[in-house]
Amino acid sequence: MDTENLHYFEKAPVPKAVAHFALPVMLGMSMSVIYSILNAFFLGTLGDTSMLTALALTLPLFAAIMALGNLIGIGSGTFISRLLGEKKLDDVKQVSSFALYSSLALGIILMAIGLPLIDPIVHGLGATPDSFGFTKDYVTVMLIGSPFVVLFFTLENIVRSEGAAITSMIGMIISVVVNIILDALVIFVFHWDVVGVATATVISNLIASIYFIFHMGYKSPFLTVSVKWFKASKDILSNVFKIGVPVFIMSIFLGAMSLILNHFLAEYGDQAIAAFGLSSRLLQFPECILMGLCEGVVPLIAFAFTANKARMQQTISFTIKAIITLAVLFGVIVYLTSDYLIGFFTNDPQLIEMGSYILHVTFLSLFISGTTTLFTGIFQATAQGTAAFIMSIIQGITLIPVLFIANHLNGFHGVVWSLVIADAVAFLVGATMLYILRNKLQPDLEALAQ
């Protein structure tokens, strides 16, 4: 095996190993959030709230496309890390080839199904008469480019699974930098507004995917892009989908939750939707930092699960402490600067007030959502398919009835607070399952004695 990656998997001090795997992912995801924020800023300079509304309404579609990439990418990636721990290198090549070509196929299927249904999709996203045209433009371009977007999310996970966290980070940064440059061109030079933003997203994902393919084909000691290694055996399908399907369902639920929230917020006008969209983008930054930390350590946990469970437990303990520290830090910053953060995008006083309020409420659950993400990552890394499936649906199942009740009892405030309640329930369920599964995750006595 590659000696550098093996060192971080097996022998480096846990804080150093976590930093090696997680920091590049955290940085890469941070760049993605910065792009998302700049995306809204560029459109905001055009002075049309309907464009910002369209951008918020299309979040569920992007979540669905990302879900297909994660279905294959996370399912295959955690399997690859476990196979590396068992030194089954030929199996790793088969899984990586399967991941590449099956993700492309899923993207093509999504495009073929989605384009003929474009108008029903746009209506289903909750587009208002003012935002319908902009929303349709964005959805059309994203569906056409969906094979490349699905491929990007798959390959980013695959590359990280072999321990090449820096390569994964570089690919994400390439995507973001290209996206920002293209955004500025299509909005300020070519005046393509929403169509340009969607086109920039597709092109940047394509370029980053090409970078990942080059790494897999010419640089990686484990992965391959050769179709000769493609194999869809029962073992591969079982291991990929028992983790990938829960991830897919969770991503779909996140998109559905955003869709349902938009429908509830529509009762309070386009400004409520736009305020939620802006605050969500700002919340993405600390959320993605914590998500990057949790996703970054998944390969390390998966490898240690088959090689050294004592090291796995040390990794989990250290990661929880890091989540607490980061959640407190971000919470203080946001509570002191929320008005200025929302004001970066708009000078509408009502929009600033609503967005700041949403930020204050949703930041209350930052530690809870971060730890819940870690719970899910642990279940994925250790092949606990049932637990991963339960985590994938619990927040969505909780949010829907809570939304109806809270909206009825307390209107707009109830809709916003329902997110915190759903996060808290998911945290409690995850902690309970982790306790139930503790015996499976305990290190051997021999390992503890070493």
Query: Which pLDDT value is given to residue 147?
Result: 94
* Token code pair at residue 207: 């370029």
Length of the chain: 450
How far apart, in whole angstroms, are the C-alpha atoms of residue 286 and residue 223?
31
Which run of H or of E encompasses 249? helix 234-265
Query: Which pLDDT value is given to residue 22?
Result: 84
Query: Which pLDDT value is given to residue 444?
Result: 47
Yes or no: say if 84 and 1 are a contact pair by the CB < 8 Å rule: yes
Neighbours of 207 (CB within 10 A): 18
Yes or no: say if 200 and 175 are a contact pair by the CB < 8 Å rule: no
Yes or no: say if 146 and 65 are a contact pair by the CB < 8 Å rule: yes
Sign of CA dihedral 57, 59, 62, 68: negative
Report CA 364 to chain centroid distance, whole Å: 20
**Which residues of the chain are under the pLDDT cut of 70?**
1-6, 32, 36-37, 47-48, 254-255, 258, 345, 396, 441-450
Q: Return the exposure string of 153-189: e unless at least 16 CB atoms fall within 10 Å of the residue's CB, then b.
A: bbbbbbbbbbbbbbbbbbbbbbbbebbbebbeebbee
How far apart, in whole angstroms, are the C-alpha atoms of residue 237 and residue 302?
18
Q: Which DSSP category does 162 fall into?
A: T
Q: Which DSSP category does 443 fall into?
A: P
Query: Which pLDDT value is given to residue 97?
Result: 92
Query: Which pLDDT value is given to residue 75?
Result: 86
For the packed helices 146-161 and 165-184, what is the interaxial angle rounded to 10 degrees?
Answer: 150
Q: Is the pTM of this model over 0.85?
A: no
* Token code pair at residue 295: 């996703």
Yes or no: say if 81 and 8 are a contact pair by the CB < 8 Å rule: no
